Chain A
Amino acid sequence: MAYQWDWSALFDNLPTLLSAIGTTVLAAVFSMIGSLILGLPVALVRLSRPQVSWAAYLYIELFRNLPLLVLVFWVFTVLPLITGLALNPFTCGVLALTLNLAAFVAEIYRAGITSIGSGQTHAALALGMTRPQLYRRIILPQAIVRVVPALGNLWVGLFKDTSILSVIGVGELMYEGRMVATDTYRPLEVFTGVAVIYYILAYPQALGVNWMFERFRVRE
């Protein structure tokens, strides 16, 4: 007997799914902001003297090599146990994503900063600038331009990674998709629809990243 497709399972529940996109975006935005902020001190420590940079190195290597799923569960299950803090799933998810992403952001900052030729550092110091002035006036303005496209790539991965938050009950697109699929007993139609929604959402993001690579292309 041929399979009877029933797309109403998907389309009747489309409003639920579409509003879940809001949670997806919110989680991604908060995590992106958090990691952009957290990544900077990590990068700066990583670039400072060896006696302290090892701490940043540990952070970066730990969170780059730890699977995100493990981190999400850890923040959700273990963190409350050891700190006594009660955190809602959304906060746990954003925290885990931020900790994970900040490690990659720090490496991008570091590459951006070190890519600026040392000649400029010498010139600035020769003029009598202090190190903070050097960073503020010379290095960071140029580094920012170089890192933006790489950060755009990170964003695309982050957006997809929000789906992992579904396992701790955050109501983003993946979670709502599973709910609808189990409620309607129509996993084929619903999950296909969810996948297509992700695909459609990815399109403008990819265009945005391409635009960033064009706009911020470094001309030496």
Chain B
Amino acid sequence: MNSATHFTWDFGVFFRDLPFLLKGLVVTIEVSLLSMVAGTVLGLVVALMRLAPARPLRWVAAFYVDFLRATPLLIQLVWVFFALPILLGYSLPPVPAAVLTLGAYSGAYLAEIFRSGILSVAVGQRHAALALGMTGAQALRRIILPQAIVRMLPPIASTFITLVKDSSLVSLISVSELMWAAQSLSAISLRPAEILTGTGLIYVAVTYPLSLVAELVRRRLLTV
């Protein structure tokens, strides 16, 4: 070690400010859930587009998935918050901007999950459904999707967990979620170490149980 920095931990400040942090946590969860819903809807639409017979639809969907997965989430957030309003002509409040971006971003990953889930259902199932006289839509709804969903649940679960972690980035576009709350406190407080450490532990306290549940779901589904 080097110079005499006698650092002593004092979590008193952290516990005193905990309510403020927890309010941020609520926003984190809200943003994550909203984005997940948006991403699921978008992902399903895009997945079906990628499987459509019309080539322009397939191309647009493939480009969307490629672009959003190839660029960092941060540049997408910054672009939606700072650049898009210029194109649109009006400014976007932080939370809608955040949900829009996170929804589109996770939608790209979910689209791939949905697409490979649907493709993983053996082609014979589709043949059998069509041979009975089902339309393509009936076959998808009654036969293919029910079988695909089971296989897709584990990657969908981990997408959500990643989403919760990535939601910390929206603090950088002024969404008052957990990370933003921690940063604000650290800036005015005398004890940033405890606040940041405590915030990290709060995040882990949320995502770790989620990952345990996801692992449990994965194990149960693999043995069925």
Direct touching of A and B (C-beta under 8 Å): yes
Taking Cβ atoms with an 8 Å cutoff, the residues of A that contact B are 3, 61-62, 64-71, 73-74, 77-78, 81-85, 160-164, 166-167, 174, 177-178, 181, 187-188, 191-192, 194-195, 198-199, 202-203, 206
CA–CA, A161 and B73, complex, Å: 9
8 Å CB contact of B82 from A65, A74, A160, A191 = A191
Majority SS at the chain A contact face = helix
Contact A195 B79 (CB under 8 A): yes
* A85 touching B82, Cβ below 8 Å: no
Check if B72 sits within 8 Å of A174, measured CB to CB.
yes
Contacts of B79 in A (CB 8 A): 191-192, 195
Q: Mark B158-193, 1 if CB is under 8 A from A, else 0.
A: 000100011011011000000100110010000011
Contact of B208 among A65, A166, A191 (CB under 8 A): A65
Q: Which residue from chain B places its CB closest to the CB of A62 in the assembled complex?
A: B204
Given known contacts A195-B79, A198-B70, is B192 in contact with A68 (CB within 8 Å)? Answer: no
**CA A201 to CA B196, docked complex, whole Å:** 33
Q: In the complex the two chains form, is B192's CB within 8 Å of A67's CB?
A: no
Known: A77-B196, A188-B87, A202-B70. 11 other contacts (CB 8 A): A70-B200, A71-B200, A81-B7, A82-B193, A83-B1, A84-B1, A163-B75, A187-B78, A192-B79, A195-B76, A203-B70
* CB neighbours of A188 from chain B (8 A): 82-83, 86-87
Residue B74 at the A interface, CB < 8 A? Answer: yes
- Chain B, interface size category, equals 35 or more
Complex Cα spacing A11 to B179, Å:
35
Q: A178-B78, A192-B83 are in contact. Are A199 and B67 (CB under 8 A)?
A: yes
Q: B87 contacts A66, CB within 8 Å?
A: no
Q: How far is the CB of A97 from chain B (nearest CB, A)?
A: 13
